[in-house]
Structures are given as C-alpha cells and as structure tokens.
A and B are shown apart, each in its own frame.
Chain A
Amino acid sequence: MTDTSAAAASTSAKPSVAILDVDLDEHARRIRKQDRIATIFLTVIVGFVLALLAALVIYILAQGLPEVLTPGFLTNSPLDRDNPGISYELFDSFYMLFVTLVISVPISLGAAIFLVEYAPENWVTSAASTAIETLSSLPSIVVGMFGSLFFVVYCGWGVSILSGAMALTMFNIPILVRVIQQALQDVPRVQRDASLAMGLTRWETTRSVLLPAAMPAIVTGIVISAGRVFGEAAALLFTSGAAPARLNFGSLDITSLRNPWNIFRQAETLAVHIYKLRMEPTPGNDAIAWGTAAVLIICVLLFNVGARMLGKHLAKKMTSE
C-alpha cells in the first residue's frame, strides 16, 4: 500500500512541478474516471451484500414455512411417531433463554457498573476487563467443553438446563457487559456530576440516576443478546443434552425429570434440534430441520425488531416524564 501511494504521489506531483507541458486535462479525466469506476464497484458490492441477505432470509423461509404451517408442527411433541413437531424444543429454547438471562443479567449489570463507576485504574481492573474480553472471543465449543466438565461433573448438576444456562451465561456475559458499559458511559456527565454534588453516593447515583437513564439502551442490548443466545448450539451439545426430555406439562412435582420447569432435567433447544436431525439422517428429517430453522429465524428477527421498538418506546417514555 505504501509503494502504490508513493508511486501515485510521485506521478501526480510530476505534471504540476517538473514537466508543465503534460496534459493536465487528461490527468483530470483519468482520475475522474477512476473515481467513477470505484463508485460503481462499491455500489455493486453493497448491492451484493443486500441481495445476499435477502436471499438468505427468503431461502430459509421458502424451505421452512410450508413445514411450519403444517398443522401440529408447532404443537406436537418431537416424540410423536406419525407427525413429529417441535413443541418441546420451543419450550426448552425459551425456558433456557429465561434461565440464562436470570443468571447473566444481574452479573453483567454488576460487572459493568463496577467497571464504569468504581474501577480503580490499576492492574486488577485491567485484568478483569481482559478476562471479559477473553471470554468474548472464546470458541463456543471450548465453553461447551469446559461446561461439560465443570458444571456437569464437578458441580454435579449433570446434563441439565442449569448447566446449559451456565454455559450460555459465559457466552452472554461479555456481550451484555459491553452493551451496559456503553449505555452507562453514554449518560451525560452532567447528570452524574449533579447527583454526586447533591451528596448522593456513587451507589445511589447509579441506582437512581444512571440506571434509569441508561435503561432503554440496556433493554435493547439484553434483547439483542437474547437473540444470539437463542441460536447457540455448540455450547449446549454437551451441557444440556441433545435429546428432548419426555415432558409432562401436567406434572406438579418439580423434582421430576418430566416436569418442564425442573432445571435439572435434560433439554434440547431448537438450534441443537437442527444439529441432531442432520447428524442422524432419517427420511423426513430435512423438512423438520428446515421448519425448525424457519422458526428460529423468525424468533431471532422478532427479537431484533422487538429490541429496537422496545428501546425506542422506553426512551420516549423516559424522556417525556
């Protein structure tokens, strides 16, 4: 890059300084043409990316929607012999997401507040933020592997929703911490200073001034991260299992492995279900896999759109008060 720019600099410098009888108009025409070609090229690239996105979404929906619209697909059990559906997977996905958020949101909130408000500038703080950064770039299969030994074996939770949720928490925390940190930092300095000047402690300031002001951005971030968690499969394969539990929605015994609300039972999320169907190919599996993929995509899109709308709504509500 240095060479080309140096060469370009020397060629563009020559006509004006050294040889004045070179055709400057010709040079101007040339660079203008170059500019036009570059612009066309860039437009084509952007068009390609947009077309790719549209093609992906349309393709998934075209492949999956017929299956989704089949009666019973969303409501039948996956163990149903004649007309297997994905009702257990749907439930498991949302329940797993719920448990994950219950664990990860408070921890991320605390960690982000510490890093933004309290963190002294020393090696402890920089080590902590490096640790969070490390977590964000860990391959999800390594997280799953760690979970399969630490949560499943050492903590004794077995292959369960809790183990899976903990693995997802590790995956989710860095995303959430970054979003919340950003949201807190974006609160105008004046608000913080004013609150501190009134004699409130940092903790009170955070609780009653900063968090409400940052809430719209935080909620948006949580919902978007939920979309990412929802589609994660590699970290779950060995922590929450790859087979649906035989659920009994009428069960009242929370310790029963068939009780849907028991966090110590196995579970299979939608994403894991797709993986499972591919790895054990039997006729008819492909249609179910595509249907599941379509449901997954629709959920993720809803999360995405919902996050934006919720954020906007909250922001409006907060500022009008």
Chain B
Amino acid sequence: MTQKNDEEATQVPAEQSEAPQYENVLPDRMPRLSIKGEGKAEGGAVSKARLSKTHESRKTHKTLPKQQLEDVGLGLTGTCVALVALIVVALVFMVFQQGLTTFFSDGVDFGAFITGPHWIIEEGQFGALPLIVGSFSVTLLSMLFALPIALGSAIYVVEVQPGFGRHVFQPLVELLVGIPSVVYGLIGLYVVNSSMRALFGSAAGTGAGILSGAIVLAVMILPTVTTLSIDALAAVPNDYREGSYALGCTRWQTVWHVVLKSARPSIMTAVILGMTRAFGETLAVQFVIGNVEKSMPTSLLDPAATLTTALTSGLANATTGSVQYHALWSLGMLLLGMSLLFILIIHLIGRKGAKGND
C-alpha cells in the first residue's frame, strides 16, 4: 500500500514523498491511528488511481478521504453516547432540582420529611417514613425469599446438571423476566392475596400487605438473581473444583467451601442488582400492597405503601408546581438516591473483587 500515516504525512515534505512511503509501511502497525487519503503527496495521483481500482466494487466511500470518514464515524457514534449521557445528567439534575424545592422554597423540613410517620398529601402532611419503611421491608423480605431459591437453582444448574441448565433451565428462566410487571401484579392480587386470607384468616384483612408485596417481588427478581448467580458460579475456575475433588471432598463440600466462597463478590453483586430491581418496582407492588400511606405499618400483614406506589397514586392528582407535586419529586429523589447508592455499592464490590484477585 502506498498510503501513509497521517501524522507523519504532515512532517514529510511533499518532494521526498516517494522514499518515506516505503519506510512508513512497517512502523504503521497501530490500527487506531487513522490512515489518510494520499491527496497531499506527489505520488497521490498514482495511488489514487490504484485505490479507486481496488475499491471499484465499493463505490460508497470512494469520494470521502479516509480521515474524513473516520471523523464521520467518530462524530456519529460519539454524538449518540453524548446524547445518552446528557439525558442521564438531565434526569439526575431535574429530579434533584425539583425534589429539593420542597425543602428550600416550600419550607418543608428535611428531617421531618424523612422521619414523619404520616404521609397525607391532601392535608400537606409529608412524612415519608411509612413509605421508606415499606420500600425497605418489601425489598429485604423479597430478597430473603428469592436468594435461597436462586442460589440453589444456580448451584444445580452449574454444578449438578450443566447441560440441562444451559439448554432448558436458563431459557425458561429468561421467559420469567419477560412477564410484565402488571401481569405479576394481577396474579398477586388473585393468588397471593387470597392465599394470605386463607392462611392468616381475619388477621390478614383483605390480604393486601407487605408480605404479599414481598412474595410477588420475590418471584419478579428471581430470574435476575438466578441468572447473575449462574454467571457468578460459572466464572469460578475449574482448577478450584478439581483441587477440591482431588483432596477427596464431596460435591457438596466443594460447592460450599470452595465455589460459593470464591464466587461471593459476584453473588453479592447479584443480590444488590436484585434489590435495585425490587426497590424500584412499581405496579406489581401497587396491586398487592394495599396502598395505605397515611400511617406506619405495624405488621407484615398490614396494608402499606412504598415510595414507588405513593408516587404513582399521587402524581395523577398533583398539579405542577404545587407543594404536593414537589413533595412527590422528593420521593423520586429518594428513589434515585437509593439506586445511585446501589450502583456505588456494586462498583465498590467490583473494585474489591479485582483487588482480591491480584
């Protein structure tokens, strides 16, 4: 090829272009450095003719010099990334701006907002504690239900029956991810709530409550946690297992003492991601939790509300710019803050894991 490295082309005077062209062929190994059309050099006419001959079949880019083409690619794709980043920044900025208005211009006390036990938006009582408690209790409970099942099936799929796991179990579990959350809510409303009534009698009331919400959420996050746990266990090097078997350990000993232990950081990540999903889930919870926002839930069978459900029911009636509207954005701000915190934790786990492997 008689093409030249772009950077060197600017240094080499045009008169000397014939000789350095051959020199430039070898050092030009780095693919990232862009390659320029040969228009500037004197030998350009020859190579241009040659180039157009080789590219005869590909008429699309013939008119564009290479550097320009590369700039087009970089510009187009860079714009896409910038657009995505910009919209995320806009979202975070806007949620915080609107959410903080409650405390800075509407005069609601932040401490009272976080610790107040009554959320009665029509009367201007903005105590988000029942919602925060609701959100955290359904999230933690659902993880408590989902984790043993997810981890158990992941162990089975990776350690006991890998073939069945890859070809049957995993595709089926991915189907569970596809079931929309309103449908989970509908099933929860019919199945879980009535089972609650059947199990606990009058103590369960209508059957709506934190426990029902947690059960529905557990089913919803099960595929996420399972898939990520499978990945975590599969990533454990086989040497570890073979070492353990060579020492005479049984499969269960190997799983318990070796595989699970070395996969712990990734399993933690799976847990956090599952909790992120549970924390932010809206409609499925809304259907089954009972949506009682005004006071603190006293038991798991009490109807309650979460940050997300209070947002959904409130936003339909709040007028833009009112205190109520801003208070709802403050709830959104709490939700956003929690998801940012979850991401931070995942990053910290990842960094610690990377350090541990060194």
Which A residues are within 8 Å of any B CB, using their own CB? 1, 5, 8-9, 31-32, 34-35, 38-39, 41-43, 45-46, 48-50, 52-53, 56-57, 59-60, 63, 106-111, 113-115, 117-118, 127-128, 130-135, 137-143, 145-146, 148-150, 153, 170, 173, 177, 193, 196-197, 199, 201-204, 206, 208, 224, 227-228, 230-234, 237-238, 271, 274-275, 278, 289-290, 293, 296-297, 300-301, 303-304, 308
Residues on the A chain within 8 Å of B61, using CB: 204
Q: How far is the CB of A17 from chain B (nearest CB, A)?
A: 14
Assembly CA distance A197 to B31 (angstroms): 7
**Cβ 8 A contact of B84, one of A173, A224, A289:** A173
A238 to chain B, nearest CB (A): 6
Complexed CA–CA distance, A87 and B245 (Å): 60
A222 shortest CB reach to chain B, Å: 14
A199 touches B1 (CB 8 A): yes
Instruction: Count residues of B near A (Cβ-Cβ below 8 Å).
Output: 99
CA distance A135 to B87 in the complex (A): 9
- Are the CB atoms of A203 and B182 closer together than 8 Å? no
The interface residues of chain A lying within 8 Å CB-to-CB of B250 are 31-32, 34-35
Q: Are B77 and A114 in contact (CB under 8 A)?
A: yes
How many residue-residue contacts, CB under 8 A, span A and B?
Answer: 265
> Which residues of chain B (279-324) have a CB below 8 Å from chain A?
279-283, 287, 308, 311-312, 315-316, 320
Pairwise interchain contact B182-A233, C-beta atoms closer than 8 A: yes
Cα distance A303–B179 when bound, in Å? 11
- Whether the Cβ atoms of A232 and B180 lie closer than 8 Å is yes
Given that A49-B153, A114-B81, A142-B332 are known contacts, is A231 also in contact with B282, CB under 8 Å in the complex?
no
Give the nearest-CB partner of B175 in chain A.
A304
Is the beta-carbon distance between A141 and B149 smaller than 8 angstroms? no
Report the Cα distance A237→B249, complex, angstroms: 55
Known contacts A50-B169, A231-B179, A231-B182; decide if A141 and B280 are in contact (CB<8 Å). Answer: yes
Name the 8 nearest CB pairs between A and B, nearest first. A231-B180, A139-B280, A203-B73, A110-B80, A114-B77, A45-B152, A196-B31, A35-B250
Q: List 8 A-B contacts (CB under 8 A).
A: A31-B252, A38-B252, A59-B191, A118-B73, A137-B339, A140-B282, A233-B180, A234-B312
State the main secondary structure of chain A at its contact with B: helix
Contact assessment for B73 and A202 in the assembled complex, using a CB-CB cutoff below 8 Å: yes
